[in-house]
Every structure is written in C-alpha cells, then in structure tokens.
Amino acid sequence: MSDGGNGTANGGPSIGNGGGAVGTLTKKDFTSDQEVRWCPGCGDYAILSTVQGFMPELGIEPDRTVFVSGIGCSGRFTYYMDTYGVHGIHGRAPALATGIATARPDLSVWVITGDGDGLSIGGNHLIHALRRNVNLKILLFNNQIYGLTKGQYSPTSEEGKVTKSTPFGSVDHPFNPIALALGAEATFVARTLDNDRQHLTQVLRQAAVHRGSAFVEIYQNCNVFNDGAFDLLREKQQGTHNQIRLEDGEPIVFDEGKRCVSVGENGRLVITETASTPPEAIVAHDAKGRPSLAFALAHLSRGPNEPTCIGVFREMERPVYGEAMTAQIEQAVERLGPGSVDKLLHSGDTWTVSQPDAGTG
C-alpha cells in the first residue's frame, strides 16, 4: 500500500469538505514523485493528467483518498497519485476497494482497471461491486487489447481481431462494458475519451458526486498494440461527426445537428437524418428514467468504428452498500450489548474441534 506521505485519513469525504480549505489544493498535491513510465504516446498519460488536475476540485485531501488498481498498464496509476494506494493482484481491485470503502466510509475510494483486468479474471468482482452499489468510483481503461503482456486479444477486442494469441482472428464475441454495467444494475454508468480533457473532467465530476458505485468506461488508445482503434471518435475532425454526446433532458442529435437518434420500427433506436425526422420521433435522453433507454443506447453501435454514444447513460439512486452494514452492526451492538461480535460468533450451532491425544494417530 503506497502512502502519499500526507498523514492519517480523518473525517468524511463529502465534496468540498475535505478537511482543508477548499481551493488550496492543486494538481501538484496529487502528483507523486515517481517517474511516469508508460509507452510514449499512450492514452494513459492524458487520463492521469486529467485525474490529477481534477482531484483538487473535490476538496478532499490526498490523505483521505485511496486509489486501488489491478494488473495491467493501468495498474501503475496508483504509483503516480500522491494519495494512499493499493496495487492489487489481477482483477481483484473492486474486491479490495469494497473492503476499504466498507470499513472506512470516510475515505474517497477510486478503482483503476482495464478491459483485461476488469472484464476477464476480474469480471465477477466488478459486477458484484456494481450490483451491491458500493461507494466506489470505477474507471475502466478500455483499449481493446492486452497491452502489458504485449498485444494479445482482450474481452473487448472485436471479432476477427488478429493478434499474437489469435493469428487467424478472434472468434470470441466481445463484451460491451456499458451494457454489462447496466445489466449489473449499476447506479451510474458513463463513457468518455482519454484525449478529451473537458468531457473526461465533466464525467469525473458527475461520477464523484454520485452516491454509490460509479462506472466510467474510458476509451484509451494503445498506440503500440492497437493504435487507432478509436480514431473515429478521438480524432477531432472525425469525432465532430461521430460522437453522440448524451445530455440529460436534451434531444439526442449529433454531427453538428445533421443526424439524430430516433425511434424506428418496433421501437428500436436508429440513426436518421434530423431534417427528415419528425421532431416527436427524436429521442430525448433521460439518464434517470427507464433503464431500457440506456441499454438501447449502449447497443446503438456495435463498436467504436460507428457513431457511438459518450456521456452519462444512467444515473439513479439506490441504498449504498456499507451504510446498511454499518446500521446492522449498530443494531446488533444495541441489542446484544458489549462484546456483541463474540456473542454472535458463539451463538446458534457452534462446536469445538479438539486436537487428538498424542499417539492416537
């Protein structure tokens, strides 16, 4: 566990009430003295810089913040944040972070993971953290490849992907991370881009104030093993025409207003020309409304090589895991009195396993 050297965490992590004067924190306070070591041109640099620059906004001091990561290129993230941090084993970041957030609700807990780490060996940990609504902010860097181990296909690689581990093309159907999070009934689900600092910051801001699990997929370019996978969205000239930006309460139009998302046959969402689409058929985004809309938007494109939605797909309120557990413990202490945990452990069906006598085998 890394420690930014800022002392012991105290108090609650409410936004703008971090124990120090709001506005006194800077990006430097969240930047460690470790040399940043990713491949030159990696999208992780942009994400790191944006997160370091954004964290002071929260008014939560570094010694009350924890970053937890797993294995992969994204796992290095914890070393570059001058906060508390845990670099866990493969796929277990959500499980480790669940323990931290549950035991220490006064801390601001963030999970950094990747498409390989979070959706392969860590898939179950991810979905259960989301369904429980643990108070975590989960950033999943999706580059559609295994970068750290040198370019094997990942759970989000497209069908037919030729890599070192699939020389004749992948036959696996890829995960849709947004649809997966929605299926796990995550209470906050969003997507953004590594190189769009303004949009990334806006999404982080919304995730940070959300109570419970916030899942943010970040399209992140791996310029060594999967360069250009998201150019249709990341490159400014193409992104202008192909980013479908979701704004709660607003009609879903894009491509400088020329195209829109509308209701087609059998209620399916389709992309049509705005000029030829009746206004009543144009879909208005409702992040807090029915989950079917968010799920349909998640499946509007088959991948980032088509016009694709970015922004907040779903945001809702649900009891936060940890708060209910704390309430149960308080009730148990009130009912059973001092030493209640010991009483609970020895109540009901219990037995003692004794050592056999010496010489009896």
Stretch 180-198: mean pLDDT: 97
Q: What phi, psi does 321 have (nearest 5°)?
A: -65, 135
Cα separation, 330 vs 326, whole angstroms = 6
- Show the tokens assigned to 56: 């002071």
322-323-328-333 Cα dihedral, nearest 10 degrees = 100
**What would the pLDDT profile of 298-344 be if each residue is shown by its tens digit?**
999 999 999 999 999 999 999 999 888 888 878 877 877 766 667 77
- What is the DSSP-derived secondary structure letter of residue 121? I
Q: 289 or 16, which is more confident?
A: 289
Residue 59 pLDDT > 80: yes
What is the distance between the alpha carbons of residues 63 and 81, in angstroms, rounded to a whole number? 11
Handedness of CA 50, 53, 56, 57 (dihedral sign): negative
Q: Where are the beta strands (DSSP E) in the chain?
A: 65-69, 84-87, 108-114, 137-142, 188-193, 214-219, 243-246, 253-254, 259-263, 269-273, 308-315
In this prediction, residue 5 carries a pLDDT of: 40
Mean pLDDT, the chain, rounded, equals 91
Tell me how far CA of residue 27 lies from CA of 57, 58, 129, in angstroms: 10, 12, 29
Does the domain formed by 27-229 have CATH 3.40.50.970? yes
- Ranges of each domain in the chain: 27-229, 323-348
pLDDT of 12 above 70 = no
Please give the structure tokens belonging to residue 352.
């003692």
pLDDT in tens, 236-273: 999 999 999 999 999 999 999 999 999 998 899 999 99
Return the half-sphere exposure (C-beta side, CA atoms, 13 A cut-off) of residue 39.
18
Alpha-carbon distance of 250 to 287, in angstroms, equals: 10
> Average of pLDDT values for 102-113?
96
State the pTM of this model. Answer: 0.89
Question: What's the rounded Cα separation, in Å, for the pair 174 and 47?
Answer: 24
pLDDT value at position 8?
36
